[in-house]
Amino acid sequence: MEKYITIDTSQMADKMDSVSHNVMATTAAVGVMQTAVINEEKVSSEKICGRLNYGFFNLITAQIEQKVANESSNANALAIELMQQQKALRALQDRMGKDYNLIASRYVKLFNALNKELKNRVMELDRPVMELCEQRIKQLQNRICALISSVPVYQSESLTVSQAIAAAHIKRNAQALIDEIASYLKKSNQARALTEHIKHDDLQAEDATFSLPMVITEECGTGNNPVQKVHDNPQMKARLGDKAFMSATMAALQAGKDLPWHDADEQARASVANNFTAMVESAGIPERVKAEMKRLFDQNKHWQTL
């Protein structure tokens, strides 16, 4: 037995068509919505980026303006300080210039007075010489006038007598000149002999030994070995010279090795203490240093001498 069933799908097909249209409409709506969302997000992101850029720019601008303001205030303060220092330096320069001019004027007056006084003294010292020169010049002029040869013009009876008188006058002047030259030579020889005697009076041909003051100290070195030292004397070194002073120093060190050390007696201690105290008191040092030097000297009870 065959059965034929007939199923009507028209309604289902209609529903499927309706659903298909709805799905397509939904898909279109979703696409439109997605596009709108993307556009909105893009616009929103652009707005946010723009606002962030604007805010960051404003922040950086504010910071730069703040730094510029701080640096400007510091520069203004330094400029004001430099102007004040410039004014102070100019005032100091003006004051120093006035002081220099004042001191220079004082020294100019002082040196002018000294020059005038020295000139007066030189003139006073030269006055006897100048007066002597004037007198001698007058005498020489008179002598030259007196010694000028003249031709006697007389009568024949008195010609021989006048010639004899002129010859005697010339002989007298020549004799006086010879006597003056002899006296000058004699005095010159006496002065030369006296000078040579003064120059060579203190010289001695034989060798001599002189004693020179030196300070020799001895300290304990490594292994308690004594170390001697001669202290320099600038004045004696300048007078003797480096070579002679070095020779004298080596001789003093050589002689000091054989010198015996012994305990100082009370008299020597008292003498050294008095001299040391006087030296400390007369020294131009602070009182605290003087007190410390005295204390260290008093603590050193055991010391020896040569």
Asked if 214 and 250 count as a contact pair (C-beta separation under 8 A), the reply is no
Q: What is the mean pLDDT of residues 176-199?
A: 82
Are 216 and 235 a contacting pair, CB within 8 Å? Answer: no
pLDDT band at 279 (very low <50, low <70, confident <90, very high): confident
| pLDDT interval class at 152 (50, 70, 90) | low
The identity of residue 93, as a single letter, is Q
In this structure, are 227 and 176 located in the same domain?
no
**Cβ atoms within 10 A of the Cβ of 251, count?**
13
Q: Once rounded to an integer, what is the mean pLDDT over residues 43-49? A: 86
Residue 208 lies in a domain: no
Q: Give the pLDDT confidence score for residue 288 in this predicted structure.
A: 86
Q: Are residues 91 and 38 in the same domain?
A: yes
Does 109 lie in the same domain as 71? yes
Say yes or no: 151 and 172 in one domain: yes
Whether residue 266 is contained in a domain is answered as yes
Judged by DSSP in three states, 258 sits in coil
Do 85 and 145 lie in a common domain? no
Q: Are 273 and 264 in contact (CB under 8 A)?
A: no
Which carries the bigger pLDDT value, residue 199 or residue 166? 166
pLDDT given at position 91: 92
- How far is residue 132's CA from residue 40's CA, in Å, rounded to a whole number? 132
Task: Please indicate, yes or no, whether the overall pTM of this predicted structure exceeds 0.85.
Answer: no
Amino acid letter, 38: I
Boundaries of domain holding 87: 17-124
Per-residue pLDDT at 144 exceeds 70: no
Are the CB atoms for 283 and 247 separated by under 8 Å?
no
3-state secondary structure (DSSP) of residue 259: coil
DSSP-based helix, strand, coil % in the chain, nearest 5: 75, 5, 20
In this prediction, residues 7-21 reach a mean pLDDT of 70
Let me know if residue 81 belongs to a domain: yes
Q: Residue 40 and residue 34: Cα distance in Å, rounded?
A: 10
DSSP bridge pairs for 168 = none
Q: Which of 251, 267, 259 is nearest to 306 (CA)?
A: 259
Amino acid code (one letter) for 248: A
Please state the domain count of the chain.
Answer: 3
Q: In the chain, what percentage of residues exceed pLDDT 90? A: 7
Banded model confidence at residue 88, pLDDT cuts 50, 70, 90: very high
pLDDT at 157: 59
According to DSSP, the residues that pair with 217 across neighbouring strands are: 229
Quick one: 245 exposed, middle or buried, by C-beta within 10 A (0-12, 13-18, 19+)?
A: buried
Answer whether residue 5 is part of any domain: no
Distance linking the first and last C-alpha atoms of the chain: 168
Instruction: List, in order, residues 6 or more apart from 219 with CB less than 8 Å away.
Output: 226, 227, 229
Q: Pick from 71-80, 150-159, 188-197, 247-256 the range whose average pLDDT is largest.
A: 71-80
How many C-beta atoms surround the C-beta of residue 120 within 10 A?
10
Assigned domain for 6 exists = no
Dump pLDDT digits (tens) for 190-211: 888 887 777 654 545 566 666 6
Residue 194: what pLDDT? 81
* Residue written as token pair 């031709």: 151
- Cβ-in-10-Å burial (0-12, 13-18, 19+) of 134 comes to exposed
- What is the H or E stretch that residue 220 is in? strand 215-220
Shared-domain flag, residues 166 and 227:
no
Per-residue model confidence (pLDDT) at position 203: 47
- Single-letter amino acid code for the residue at 204: Q
Closest by alpha carbon to 260, among 227, 213, 301, 304? Answer: 304
State mean pLDDT over 229-254. Answer: 74
DSSP H or E run through 218: strand 215-220
Average pLDDT taken over every residue of the chain: 78
Measured CA to CA, the distance from residue 14 to residue 21 in angstroms comes to 11
Indicate if the pLDDT at residue 283 is higher than 70: yes
pLDDT at 104 over 50: yes
Residues 67 and 111 in one domain: yes
